Structure 1
Amino acid sequence: MSLPKRRTGKGVTLRRGQPGFDAAVLDSSFNGRDPGRRPDILVQANNVFEVIAAVKHAAAHDLNISICSGGHSWNQNHLRDRGMLLHLGFMSAIEVDVAARRAIVEPGAWCGDLDAQLRRHGLFFPVGHVADIGLGGFLLQGGFGFGSRKFGLACENVQGVDVVLADGSLVHANAQQHSDLYWAARGAGPGFFGAVVRFHLQLHARPKVTAMQSQIFDMQHLDEVVRWADRVGPEVDRSVEFQFIITRQVPLMGIFRPGIGILSPVLADSWREAREATAFIRHSPLRPLAARTAPLLPMPTTWMAKLGWFSLFPAGSRWCADNAWLTAPADDVLPAIHKVVETLPPAPAHALWLSWYPPAERQDMAFALESNTYFACYGEWKEAAGDESHQTWAGDMMRLFEPHSRGIQLADENLGKRPARFTTDRNYVRLQQIRQKYDPQGLFRSWAGVLPEQQAQQLSP
């Protein structure tokens, strides 16, 4: 099983047909599947000045721009036909002001690298759950990270962004200046209409205890686990990410046959607090049914994120993913979950249930759609021969949940194959109005697909 590759050396510019072009384009994606789409030109920018030059070149030559930083888009949203692919993955600087609890990061910096650097200073930011996720896309789509139930979405901890606009100008956007651009940068995801070259982050004191609580069930107990999770979800302390995966096996996580694995990180200020917050798992009425209940284990978030590399999201695999915010009780969605289990591809493919339970109020930003329960499917396979039979699995499964869902979140979007709501209609309209202001010619590409009714009202007042 291979590890993700770090960007090394200097970025280059390649045109279609040049030696190394195809390999460099495909290397921009975590997903090992080749969708067949190719830009006319690939620009691997090394600094802000090269980004500005690339944007000006694209505008002068009628080249629509798609952008990637870490390349973790399951849907490979940045791989489009024609135009320019602006690759920001080579821009990976991290600057930390320990005294002010601030950081400035470039879009290609990995979540795991930021977390490791902050850990040395006793600081914390809700980074993504897999170490090689690029911060650029992670922050733009919302940012569901470690501790996000306690510290807020990652994008809520973004205090400002430096953006290269369609006219090639570099602006700083925050709550006081270009506030509409700042609003859009927190939730627009791959539909954002500019190249963010720096994110200004608010940091927190690092929780004194980070630990993992796990409990494993055989698949025969699926109904009991789902109903119990649905029942206790509202009571779970905000320091805990109460979630479980459904998979055929994940030996590194103690799942040796088809089953359900509760894998819940907890971030607390004392060991006692962590134990109390996770006691509902160890002492649940389902414990007698569990194949294994582990003790609460101390585990740094850096280790948790690396565990994701090895066990659930190996590099070089081919992937399809999709998701839904559920609005119905357990019994209403269990038939669809059973269908997921019946059709589940071999490991490490899996489905995820997350008891999210958002706060009553969020900051005013483009991100605005969520619900109490999140469900997602992640299909994985190794060979191109499996593309036709596997690449539609996640979308097909999530269509079963549509009667019980209010939309999706952009981290696991599949908009090119299954258009779905990812923000409120009001926010969608506002995003299009702000796009018209900053990118009237549509230089920067938007989402791969949206619902027809949203598309029709995109410029409505």
Structure 2
Amino acid sequence: MAGTAVETLREALRGEVIGPQDPGYDEARTIYNAMIDRRPAVIARCADVTDVRAVVRYARESGMDLAVRGGGHSGGGLCLADGSLLLDLSAMRWVRVDPEARTARVGGGSQLGDLDHEAHGFGLGVPAGIMSTTGVGGLTLGGGHGHLTRAYGLTIDSLLAADVVLADGSFVTASAEEHPELYWALRGGGGNFGAVTSFTYGLHPVDTVGLAVTLWEPEQIGAVLRWYREFLPAAPETLNGFFAILAVPPGPPFPEEIHGKKMCGVVWCFTGSPDEEELNRTFAAVTEPAPPAFHFATPIPYPALQTMFDELIPKGLQWYWRGDFFDRVTDGAIDVHRTFLENLPTELSTMHLYPVDGAAHRPGPMDTAWAYRDAIWSGVIGGISPQPSDADRIRDWAVGYWDALHPHSMGGAYVNFLGADEPDARVRATYRGHYDRLADVKRTYDPDNVFHHNQNIGPAESQGSQESQGSQESQASRKSRG
């Protein structure tokens, strides 16, 4: 089957088709997380929408299992499957900005850095992520949050339209006017409904922003978190700041004497005036919980802020992550954070609390598939190491941390922070009361669950079906996780 697929698709596609015997196969099958080592039967690197349609149709007609990769940043490796036909969008990497309309149309294989760079040329941007290497597609379909969330909302709040190749190979544009239910589902429902070949975003004014990094000694974590949980939700929406536990990276702007030290801190982004006087006034409050061990503030172009972590955590590291939503930071949660900071397993392992309030609270709870408009923070625990021998250690730390912290959460998580090995109940918890509506959309646009290598939402059962929806989900989950 694989050999036949390679030859057939090479004749049909403008893009590159790579099989296991080809020299570039091992490089072509790698993704951001080096803990994932899977071998697709065929990799179809699509050049355009016609290629994407041909690959989807071939998968349907041949019975081959289909997986879709955009930027390849899926922590659980859900964009890659053994023995599959991999629909690779990475060659569809382009951005077209309309500065007068303040919109950008972005290819489905693009990375955030592509969008940030092009939009920045016109003093514009989209609230999306904190790393330039993140794929636009997966981040957007999961909901998307980042440095600009409190100012401008989630990424999906700026999504105006999406071009989608459906499970039968047909092509549609989903927007508020066309296929509105599909448009609703794409805004937070993950990759369940088709292969998105382009996204159209509304852009926002953003140029030079104020960056600040504030670090405190580990023993100050209680005072800092009790201050942070009150301070940030009450702060102007122009101020964003995610809380983190970390080992201080070597190199600037950090002085050598704190390199490698375990600390807690906040990475700030201020979208108000970036002049020095305004930055000093904005960040004067960081001394309130305790004198910082380190504080640094500077104006910075927004795309430069987005690249700040790229070299620290490049492609090729071992990753294991878990996440949850939080509407408060309890004293019990603070105790958990203190314990797991003390037991940080590697210098790259971390925990982040990303704010998802401010402008992200303006849309109604039913406006998009994102079901946690009442959340204040989206948390992620990341066990990270360059060493494959650390895989079990970082996983055990992340799972233990999550087990201890989860009772203090809202129950569900940002879908992009779910682990691939978590039960189906976690997907349901993530979508709350939206789950059944999403299953209905799935039945309409992908009734055979062709797009199942994701945090899967099975199609709602047809009228008179004897098979339970729960059984469908379990089968799809088992298939997607190998």
Query: When the two structures are superposed, what TM-score results if normalisation uses the length of structure 2?
Result: 0.84
CA distance in 1, matches of 2:344, 2:126: 34
Q: Which moved more, 1:49-58 or 1:363-372?
A: 363-372
The gaps in structure 1 that reach 5 residues or longer are 1-9
Contact kept in structure 1, 2:420 and 2:455, CA below 8 Å: yes
The runs of 4+ residues in structure 1 deviating greater than 6 Å are none
Matching of residues 63-142 of structure 1 within 5 Å: 63-142=64-143
Q: Output one character per residue of 1:27-67: Cα deviation in whole Å (capped at 9) or x when no partner.
A: xx1112234x3332221111111101000000001123221
Matching of residues 138-287 of structure 1 within 5 Å: 138-190=139-191, 192-207=192-207, 209-251=208-250, 252-254=252-254, 255-256=258-259, 257-269=261-273, 271=275, 274-275=278-279, 278-279=282-283, 281-282=285-286, 284-287=287-290
Amino acid at match of 2:370: F
* 2:311 counterpart SS class: helix
Give the match for residue 450 of structure 2: 443
Contact kept in structure 1, 2:16 and 2:46, CA below 8 Å: yes
Matched, 1:49 2:50: yes
Shift of 1:276: 7.5
Cα 1:17–1:389, aligned 2, differ >3 Å: closer, same or farther?
A: farther
Q: Which moved more, 1:251-260 or 1:221-230?
A: 251-260
Q: Which moved more, 1:273-282 or 1:163-172?
A: 273-282
Cα 1:435–1:446, aligned 2, differ >3 Å: closer, same or farther?
A: farther
Shift of 1:194: 0.4
CA distance in 1, matches of 2:457, 2:248: 35
Matching of residues 359-370 of structure 1 within 5 Å: 359-362=360-363, 364-370=367-373
Contact kept in structure 2, 1:213 and 1:265, CA below 8 Å: yes
CA distance in 2, matches of 1:218, 1:100: 47
CA distance in 1, matches of 2:211, 2:115: 21
Shift of 1:18: 4.7
Contact kept in structure 2, 1:70 and 1:89, CA below 8 Å: yes
Amino acid at match of 1:69: G
Q: Which one of 435, 455, 458 corresponds to residue 428 of structure 1?
A: 435
Q: Could you say what the CA RMSD is over the residues aligned between the two structures, in angstroms?
A: 2.5
CA distance in 2, matches of 1:12, 1:21: 11
Contact kept in structure 2, 1:58 and 1:64, CA below 8 Å: yes
Contact kept in structure 1, 2:78 and 2:453, CA below 8 Å: no
CA distance in 1, matches of 2:186, 2:265: 35
Matched, 1:416 2:431: no
Give the match for residue 332 of structure 1: 332
Amino acid at match of 2:213: S
CA distance in 2, matches of 1:264, 1:383: 30
Cα 1:21–1:310, aligned 2, differ >3 Å: closer, same or farther?
A: closer
Contact kept in structure 1, 2:224 and 2:290, CA below 8 Å: no
Q: Output one character per residue of 1:400-449: Cα deviation in whole Å (capped at 9) or x when no partner.
A: 12211121102322142465246433211111111111111111115346
CA distance in 2, matches of 1:350, 1:82: 33
Cα 1:455–1:264, aligned 2, differ >3 Å: closer, same or farther?
A: farther
Shift of 1:238: 0.9
CA distance in 2, matches of 1:210, 1:162: 32
Cα 1:124–1:277, aligned 2, differ >3 Å: closer, same or farther?
A: farther
Shift of 1:253: 4.9
Shift of 1:108: 1.4
CA distance in 2, matches of 1:87, 1:55: 11
CA distance in 2, matches of 1:349, 1:203: 33
Give the match for residue 13 of structure 1: 17
Shift of 1:326: 2.0
Shift of 1:273: 9.2
The gaps in structure 2 that reach 5 residues or longer are 1-13, 459-467, 474-482
Q: Which moved more, 1:127-136 or 1:13-22?
A: 13-22
Cα 1:300–1:418, aligned 2, differ >3 Å: closer, same or farther?
A: farther
Cα 1:214–1:22, aligned 2, differ >3 Å: closer, same or farther?
A: closer
Matched, 1:400 2:404: yes
